[in-house]
Structure 1
Amino acid sequence: MAAVPETAFRIQNNPVRFLPIANHTKGVYRGGRAGRCSLVRRTHGISLESKFMGEKMRACERAQLWWTDGPGRSPRLRVVSATMSLSQVPEKPLGLYDASFDKDSCGVGFVAELSGECKRETVADALEMLVRMSHRGACGCEVNTGDGAGILVALPHDFYKEVTKELGFDLPLPGQYAVGMFFLPTDTGRREESKTVFAKVAESLGHEVLGWRHVPTDNSDLGKSALQTEPIIEQVFLTPSLRSHADFEQQMYILRRLSMVAIRAALNLQHGGVRDFYICSLSARTVVYKGQLKPAQLKNYYNADLGDERFTSYMALIHSRFSTNTFPSWDRAQPMRILGHNGEINTLRGNVNWMKAREGLLKCSNLGLSKGEMKKLLPIVDASSSDSGAFDGVLELLVRAGRDLPEAVMMMIPEAWQNDQNMDPDRKALYEYFSALMEPWDGPALISFTDGRYLGATLDRNGLRPGRFYITHSGRVIMASEVGVVDIPPEDISVKGRLNPGMMLLVDFENHTVVDDEALKKQYSLARPYEEWLRRQKITLKDIVDSVPETERLAPSVYGTVPADGHDDTMENMGIQWNLWRCCYFLWQRMAQKLLVLWAMMLPGYYVRQEKLTFEYFKQMFAQVTNPPIDPIREKIVTSMECMIGPEGDLTETTEQQCHRLALQGPFLSIEEMEAIKKMNYRGWRSKMLNITYPKKLGRKGLEDTLNRICSEACKAISEGYTTLVLSDRGFSSDTVAVSSLLAVGAVHQHLVSTHERTRVSLIVESAEPREVHHFCTLVGFGADAICPYLAIEAIWRLQIDGKIPPKENGELHSREELIHKYFKASNDGVMKVLAKMGISTLASYKGAQIFEALGLSTEVIEKCFKGTPSRVEGATFEILAGDSICLHDFAFPKRSLPPGSAEIAALPNPGDYHWRKGGELHLNDPLAIAKLQEAARQNSTAAYKEYSKLVQELNKNCNLRGLLKFKDNEANIPLEDVEPALEIVKRFCTGGNELWFNIFGNTYYSCYCDEQTWWKI
């Protein structure tokens, strides 16, 4: 290496010099096969600009790296962060970026030897497979910086035995030691401190640290972005603890979790977020080599290990990452500790929230931990994890707590069992039992997984990711996202095929077999009497209704049985106008189709002129890019509105009591069913009604205090043993104001999740507010288990009484049950349409998943009631929302007396939400604007068109958020000769280019970017 002059160890204009260079044996020297090395030291007293979002780097966080490309080459200086993060991902939401939406699509595969014999060929073929699927990964603007690549293999004992002997310590026999793969800080002090803390935690648990090994790497081909976040990579070797009754893998799981907590505290890392320390794997069976690399770079980067002929394995699982909408990073590269994931978890927010709520019930008795020790392992899902990382964390918990790996995968990604008439009843009972324990992690996915004993792959219930496999006569199993990734002689192929939706391909190394999918699921379905357990424990609505006397199931009707006259105070108090009342009829008559179209035309809540409900501040999200929506009609077999509600048990246990829950066929309850639930005392199930109204005299300040009161009452009811909480606004009157049902549900749900009590109760809404599909979706999406829209039910009955709903063909009126059934059927179909456009198949997965974006709600409202929901535009506070409720209340109970027969009494108001009305809500299709457009077209009038354009621009500012955006002019104009000629640009206007463009921006936003007068003329 070329000599580095002493004077080089300073930054320009900075007189502070480095201390003497540390010994390279402590990890300061990192030489690769190309001779590159880096020398790391901290500097002080200067402020530099980092390249990410213009944030400044504190002086104490900077370091200099001197590095060279080999002998005779001049050294170059690179300034980095001394507390270097493993990625350039912002720790907190920044601008429009939010890490909680990070997802990725990738290429996965594995190679396995059924004999369990470790071979070099297995590793070599897996690395070749990875390279041949490079197109399934991605790179940034730097062609030599990848999104991530990695390989998971069985511990190469022969290799490690030799290299550790050179380091001065000997390894025990296979299975009697574990290996940890660590990404460590580049700063020497932080690195040594993290290793010391880990060793102390290990020793406190009874483990002996045999030694550390610096993993040789060659970063000569890495791009600038990957180099800026490249960690120091080391391995630790340690023995099992004789003090623990847990098996070795469970011991390593406990050690890794506890050491992460201790190291976060020692290095002052943000809780839940890993900055410059990460444990890739810690196991007695497997080890992970990965990084922010391209597939072709992986072998060269770890060539000292992966390229050694002694590096052998009986299986190898590979992964190349395509960061669909995420930042690349070293720690997010895959495989994870157990799995490699190609796909997206659409219901991630809900899955993570439910997992957090279940942490209060976890005992994990198989781990042998006390309640206090178990708390130290929490949270199960790190806040900084991607969807793949979150899935891996929960799957690992289930496996380490005692479940077989295939069983745990079947629980998290079940088949579409609800509508499959041909499925074996025992298997159906197994999946139904699993549904009582956990909601599906729904979304397009190919999951490959291994724990050292099992190696397998499975597809999601829709089969929306490819998976091909070969089984050879020579005893090899090869699975990958596509064929042609490994050369196999045709005469050696025994079986070839593809993974079907819900199918599992499983290799059992202990028995040296490929387990048939049918036989595998038969084995688990017969392991316990699931069907009998469900028959004894499952509760249905009919059971509850029958347990309550008929006289107690009747609620006072809002309306009578004669045509209505007088003042519709109930409807007006809940914000129901003529248009919305008519929608109840459309929903009943046209199976939700009309309603969905009308809702899409509504203005955002912050734009409306008149007071609106909280539902209207939310917009539904939908599937984009690599995440396809599903067809709820033609793909009905994979969809389900069924869900289990009520108290849950310990997720890690399998007992009969676990399925003692209420099974609903949909989220809607009739008034009779609601009354039965409120009065039930059935097999340990009791309900507590929480009044979500407050005295009007409290004014605008009363809303937030009432939400706090409701949350406190919910916690008290749980401590008193109630199993169901009913949030009811039936107590509203001229002196009391109803809290928005959505605010109440969101506040209670989030509060109970934070206290780990949400899974102890079911949460039911009895409200006059909801009546549209969007209302139902927001309530369920923010945590409601079931809904009784009692005013909508009464309104439909009144529609028939008033003659708005035609009678049957024989002249008879529809019964109340028939009207409610048709209304609920249409509502169910409408909700399923919303789920399907996000690529979600089951209501159980959608519940609490928060698949919405808030527009115009303040941070204080989001944090209390809708935590984790993106809200990029500030707006209404609790005080403003309370003001809307009070205004609606005053409209229903006016202070001044109205003359009999006046229009204000005789009819509900029509604010023109769906059709333009003078003095009503604004519409882009304003009659005056349309008239000017027609005049311009008929008379070829430029003046009329300019007037039309001016009117539309003004309307756009008051109807659409994008209407408030302005183009920022560049001070310096680009010379025309620097612009690519139009004739060259149009050559790229191909179908593939158009598809890419629409995928990137979303076809709903294309009007923001197109100039309608010139775009299509190019």
Structure 2
Amino acid sequence: MLEYGKKIGLYDSREEHDACGIGFYANMDNKRTHDIVEKSLEMLRRLDHRGGIGADGVTGDGAGIMTEVPYSYFAQHVDFELPEEGQYAVGMFFTNEKIAGSKHEAQFNNYFEVEGLTVLGYRDVPVDTHAIAAHVAETMPYIQQVFVALNDVSLIERTLFLARKQIEYYAQKQQLDLYFTSLSHRTVVYKGWLRSDQIKALYQDLNHADYVSKLGLVHSRFSTNTFPSWKRAHPNRLLMHNGEINTIKGNVNWMRARQNQLIETIFGDDKDKVKEIVDEDGSDSAIVDNALEFLSLAMEPERAAMLMIPEPWLYNKANDTNIRAFYEYYSYLMEPWDGPTMISFCNGDKIGALTDRNGLRPGRYTITKDNYIVFSSEVGVVDVPESQVAFKGQLNPGKLLLVDFNEHKVIENNELKARIANELPYESWLSQFKVNLDLEHIKYQPSNWDNATLTRLQKQFVYTKEEMDKYLTELVENKKDPIGAMGYDVPIAVLNEKDETLFNYFKQLFAQVTNPPIDAYREKIVTSELSYLGGEGNLLQPNETVLKRIQLQRPVLTEAQLTAIEQSHLDVAHIATIYNGDLETALEQIGDKAIQAVKNNKEVLVLDDRGLVERSGYAMPMLLAVSHIHQLLIREGLRMKTSIVALSGETREVHHVACLLGYGANAVVPYLAQRTIEQLVNQQRLVGDISENVQTYTDTLSEGVIKVMAKMGISTVQSYQGAQIFEAVGLSDAVIDKYFTGTQTKLSGISIEMIDQENKARQTPKSEYIESGSTFQWRQQGQYHAFNPTSIHLLQHACRLNDYEKFKAFSHEVNHKRTDHIRHLMEFKKQTPIDINEVEPASEIVQRFNTGAMSYGSISEEAHQTLAEAMNQIGGKSNSGEGGENPQRFIVDEAGHNRSSAIKQVASGRFGVTSDYLQHAKEIQIKVAQGAKPGEGGQLPGTKVYPWIAEVRGSTPGIGLISPPPHHDIYSI
């Protein structure tokens, strides 16, 4: 079975996510009973619908339960003497071979003893494999428990953590497949590759009447695009998780960047015993658990959860000022772990639950009069008579719930957060020490460049008249990123005969399956454009010096604002990204300069290609330079001491800014684009004041980034920075591994040498004039578009005349005349064909055909009705799209013509959705993310609709081409 982070063919386990059933049942008066265990298992069984189920109906995605250590039960079921309660810990672990009696036992014992622990003995956990599928039983590891006596209980969590880490490193070296489900003196986790109703039957311990606990946390796993395994089941060691962390790659990178400092802060001289905080081969849930567990060694878990998954505070004025101050203060120290998330955590003394800022994962709870609490992702998981209900509630977006067994009650969100926020003088620190550099009122300063210099740079960075007139001008005039049409018909960058910018090799991912995108306009309260410059302080040693950083209201700046930052207290270094030799050597050189600059306490590194103003040479692809420095500083353990600013002539589009932020830039200064805006005003191609137009352009780029990242369900720029929410298409594995480490890619391609060649060729002007450009629309002398006058002419005439030969000519024109689309490079494997009698007849196959969801308002009622009638005739299904249908179409006429769409779509707040409409549906399709399609008020990341129709020679009047630029997504809906 493949582990997380591994690839085979087109499968990449980093695409795995899960959306699950989650819940806990506990007695807040610390009464231990077997009934709590039984009801928790019943809760889990009732969450079975939340778990994934295999085609055999027996195999699940994973299930588990966390309980207290059942002290009295274990005392009766081990063949060695146990100390009294609280004086020993239990480790539950999976291995591919039995540890007791093996060559590994002595080493395991030694690592415990080095940390002052005494191994009391090992126990084989009794299981009944008849309860699970045969193929699952074959993969079942040895399930064992180790009991260790605690000689000092003052820092027991840290001691157990160190012992476990060293045993895990030993296991890696020995190629021993080891996984600790838990190692604690308070809790124990039973879990596995199971369905919800199988865990009780598999684990015999859970059925014993002496197995008592005051709490039970359960989880039923539903993973999407994933392979289940024994260790991926929840609960994890501290938490269980329902949802995804969209920014997981960035969170892991930043955690790795700050881990040396954090490990030394907690462990001091023992720091070398801990090599990493998070296991990067784990699922996103396991990684969250790793981080929360580590932070909980230095603080209470509820405080750690608040740091990692903060509620929205920037635009939420309802919060208590101390709580707002707490969140703002820690935004200087840690980026949010962002995504649709609901977690529940437990250390034995406390159980907590927290929803993310969007509240896209439900959590409801009931408190009974006899002080029990039921919490779950749905109601009805434990039967509670209404007469026994004391309170019912739900966990709202960003809210925190805590069950404190010492206080015997639930501590409500506001009270709990107020307690935590009052532990340190956050509000006082902010009022006294926050650096208030008023960048918002610093105006753009018109340049003193002559037109010859500006034109020379525009030609070198391949600006075109088309971009100026139909992107930059449109963006400023309409104050939003122009929206592009579907229909990507130019070759992708790696196959394009035109020399492409490196930005075009990266495609923004977008939210899928259980992970809805955010409406960045209507849900602005959850978003944040904040970014920070300067070295980051120590997360575990909060004090006023943390606030030395400069808080940016948005990540796109002007040169004048950058100058103000350079004149502030921060120490800034410029690193030129101009080169003349080979690119790889030049990258190594700027890497050395960056390392030395950070060691010399430079708090901001400005990667600067303005040297081209004064001298000749080539500008490195800014995306490559930024990602290289970002990854290099992480590897060197220096990234948190500085920040990166991209001062770039190449950058001019929202996609470019998104890429730079996504690969580690803290801020971007698109200086040449801003000077081009100035030029457009001077030439009266834009009206108004130069400074105001440049500010509009700069602000709109930032707003465009918010919209792009919202399509991936990401709320904050801080989370997006370094999150690498992109897929590379056409870059070699060597380039990805060295310069864009961790980026997903399915199609390999060009090497660093080829990037160098293409970059130099691109920056060598072909003409003394600014090129016209042909990215957005076809031009006779421009780059190839699949839909051109010839192909459109052939298609139109084939359809009008019902001429099959013309259609074949069209097919040849589009499919066989060129070799610069991915489909042109694919061939069918030569195999012996199967007998045609074994193939399902076409009349059966077409019954599974569906049409796209297009409302009659978008294609005309006639076309909409014809599609429905045609699909009904062949037994397929047409889709109504949003907006309803004429009720007359629900009636089958005398000739038997059925004109009703079989699939009825429902969208939020849309007209035409009546009970009659729904009653005539064979299938109801609910549209979750309104406005996600191009042309409907929103867009897929990386796609644009341009508000014009190109006149195409040879086409029917009124018919034209609308083609997106080449950096747009190759995905389609």
Give the TM-score band, short-chain normalised: 0.7 to 0.9
Is 1:138 aligned to 2:23, yes or no?
no
Q: Give the superposition deviation at 1:995.
A: 6.3
SS class of match (1:633): coil
Aligned to 1:170: 81
Is 1:911 aligned to 2:807, yes or no?
no
For the residues of structure 1 that align with 2:313 and 2:607, how far apart are their CA atoms?
A: 32
The 1:631–1:752 alpha-carbon spacing in structure 2 relative to 1, beyond 3 Å, is same
For the residues of structure 2 that align with 1:300 and 1:416, how far apart are their CA atoms?
A: 43
The 1:469–1:967 alpha-carbon spacing in structure 2 relative to 1, beyond 3 Å, is farther
Is 1:690 aligned to 2:575, yes or no?
yes
Q: Give the superposition deviation at 1:619.
A: 0.6
The 1:995–1:324 alpha-carbon spacing in structure 2 relative to 1, beyond 3 Å, is farther
The 1:90–1:255 alpha-carbon spacing in structure 2 relative to 1, beyond 3 Å, is closer
Q: What per-residue deviation string (whole Å, max 9, x for no partner) do you get for residues 255-282 of structure 1?
A: 11122112222x136xxxxxx2111100
Q: What per-residue deviation string (whole Å, max 9, x for no partner) do you get for residues 88-126 of structure 1?
A: 447732111222332211110000101011111111110
Q: Give the superposition deviation at 1:815.
A: 4.1
Aligned to 1:754: 635
Q: Of the candidates 637, 642, 646, which is equivalent to residue 765 of structure 1?
A: 646
For the residues of structure 2 that align with 1:834 and 1:557, how far apart are their CA atoms?
A: 31
Q: Give the superposition deviation at 1:979.
A: 3.2
Q: What per-residue deviation string (whole Å, max 9, x for no partner) do you get for residues 950-972 of structure 1?
A: 212237853x4244333446524
SS class of match (1:210): strand
Aligned to 1:268: 175
Aligned to 1:571: 458
- 1:423-572 correspondence to structure 2 within 5 Å: 423-542=319-438, 557=447, 559-560=449-450, 564=451, 568-572=455-459
Q: What per-residue deviation string (whole Å, max 9, x for no partner) do you get for residues 767-809 of structure 1?
A: 10100000000000000000111001100011000010124xx
For the residues of structure 2 that align with 1:457 and 1:264, how far apart are their CA atoms?
A: 33
Give 1:662's aligned amino acid: I
Aligned to 2:110: 200
2:368 and 2:389 in contact (8 A); partners too: yes
1:505 and 1:517 in contact (8 A); partners too: yes
For the residues of structure 1 that align with 2:54 and 2:502, how far apart are their CA atoms?
A: 41
For the residues of structure 2 that align with 1:968 and 1:996, how far apart are their CA atoms?
A: 39
Aligned to 2:509: 621
For the residues of structure 2 that align with 1:478 and 1:674, how far apart are their CA atoms?
A: 53
Aligned to 1:67: none
TM-score, normalization by structure 2:
0.85
The 1:535–1:614 alpha-carbon spacing in structure 2 relative to 1, beyond 3 Å, is same
Q: What per-residue deviation string (whole Å, max 9, x for no partner) do you get for residues 902-928 of structure 1?
A: xx43x4102310010113122122111
Aligned to 2:221: 321
Is 1:664 aligned to 2:552, yes or no?
yes
The 1:306–1:491 alpha-carbon spacing in structure 2 relative to 1, beyond 3 Å, is same
Q: What per-residue deviation string (whole Å, max 9, x for no partner) do you get for residues 397-438 of structure 1?
A: 0001x2111111111111111111222221111111121111
Is 1:113 aligned to 2:27, yes or no?
yes
SS class of match (1:862): helix
Give 1:199's aligned amino acid: N
Q: What per-residue deviation string (whole Å, max 9, x for no partner) do you get for residues 662-716 of structure 1?
A: 1111111111112233x4351xx20111011112xx2xxx100010011111110
Q: What per-residue deviation string (whole Å, max 9, x for no partner) do you get for residues 324-371 of structure 1?
A: 122101111110001110100000000000000001322454x4431x
The 1:956–1:645 alpha-carbon spacing in structure 2 relative to 1, beyond 3 Å, is farther
2:517 and 2:711 in contact (8 A); partners too: yes
Give 2:268's aligned amino acid: L
Q: Give the superposition deviation at 1:610.
A: 1.7
Structure 1: 5+ residue stretches without partners = 1-86, 270-275, 808-813, 895-903, 1006-1018
Aligned to 1:946: 808
For the residues of structure 1 that align with 2:439 and 2:677, how far apart are their CA atoms?
A: 27
Give 2:284's aligned amino acid: D
For the residues of structure 2 that align with 1:725 and 1:735, how far apart are their CA atoms?
A: 23
Is 1:714 aligned to 2:625, yes or no?
no
Q: What per-residue deviation string (whole Å, max 9, x for no partner) do you get for residues 869-917 of structure 1?
A: 11221212122221122223321xx7xxxxxxxxx43x41023100101
1:923 and 1:955 in contact (8 A); partners too: no
Q: Give the superposition deviation at 1:250.
A: 2.0
For the residues of structure 1 that align with 2:319 and 2:338, how far apart are their CA atoms?
A: 20
Is 1:257 aligned to 2:160, yes or no?
no
1:92 and 1:99 in contact (8 A); partners too: yes
Aligned to 2:193: 292
For the residues of structure 2 that align with 1:966 and 1:941, how far apart are their CA atoms?
A: 28
The 1:318–1:927 alpha-carbon spacing in structure 2 relative to 1, beyond 3 Å, is same
2:191 and 2:230 in contact (8 A); partners too: yes
For the residues of structure 1 that align with 2:257 and 2:838, how far apart are their CA atoms?
A: 61
Aligned to 2:6: 92
For the residues of structure 2 that align with 1:428 and 1:197, how far apart are their CA atoms?
A: 49
The 1:737–1:503 alpha-carbon spacing in structure 2 relative to 1, beyond 3 Å, is same
Aligned to 1:311: 211
1:178 and 1:238 in contact (8 A); partners too: yes
For the residues of structure 1 that align with 2:700 and 2:492, how far apart are their CA atoms?
A: 25
Aligned-pair identity in percent equals: 37
SS class of match (1:928): helix
2:365 and 2:375 in contact (8 A); partners too: yes
Aligned to 2:16: 102
Aligned to 1:416: 312
TM-score, normalization by structure 1:
0.81
The 1:597–1:729 alpha-carbon spacing in structure 2 relative to 1, beyond 3 Å, is farther
SS class of match (2:216): strand
For the residues of structure 2 that align with 1:508 and 1:643, how far apart are their CA atoms?
A: 36
SS class of match (2:602): coil
Is 1:846 aligned to 2:720, yes or no?
yes
2:531 and 2:667 in contact (8 A); partners too: no
The 1:709–1:977 alpha-carbon spacing in structure 2 relative to 1, beyond 3 Å, is closer
For the residues of structure 1 that align with 2:69 and 2:454, how far apart are their CA atoms?
A: 77
Aligned to 2:133: 223
Is 1:778 aligned to 2:778, yes or no?
no
1:776 and 1:831 in contact (8 A); partners too: yes
Q: Give the superposition deviation at 1:238.
A: 0.8
For the residues of structure 2 that align with 1:939 and 1:979, how far apart are their CA atoms?
A: 32
For the residues of structure 2 that align with 1:853 and 1:586, how far apart are their CA atoms?
A: 28
Is 1:377 aligned to 2:251, yes or no?
no
1:747 and 1:866 in contact (8 A); partners too: yes
Is 1:936 aligned to 2:798, yes or no?
yes
The alignment's C-alpha RMSD in Å is: 2.7
1:591 and 1:829 in contact (8 A); partners too: no
The 1:204–1:394 alpha-carbon spacing in structure 2 relative to 1, beyond 3 Å, is same
For the residues of structure 1 that align with 2:272 and 2:818, how far apart are their CA atoms?
A: 53
Aligned to 1:387: 284
Q: Of the candidates 167, 178, 182, which is equivalent to residue 93 of structure 2?
A: 182
For the residues of structure 1 that align with 2:650 and 2:181, how far apart are their CA atoms?
A: 49
- 1:820-831 correspondence to structure 2 within 5 Å: 820-831=694-705
Aligned length: 862
1:357 and 1:756 in contact (8 A); partners too: yes
2:165 and 2:274 in contact (8 A); partners too: yes
1:471 and 1:478 in contact (8 A); partners too: yes
Q: Give the superposition deviation at 1:645.
A: 3.0
SS class of match (1:313): coil
Is 1:396 aligned to 2:293, yes or no?
yes
For the residues of structure 2 that align with 1:997 and 1:407, how far apart are their CA atoms?
A: 37
Q: Of the candidates 131, 155, 170, which is equivalent to residue 247 of structure 1?
A: 155
Aligned to 1:123: 37
SS class of match (1:871): strand
1:587 and 1:595 in contact (8 A); partners too: no
Aligned to 2:951: none
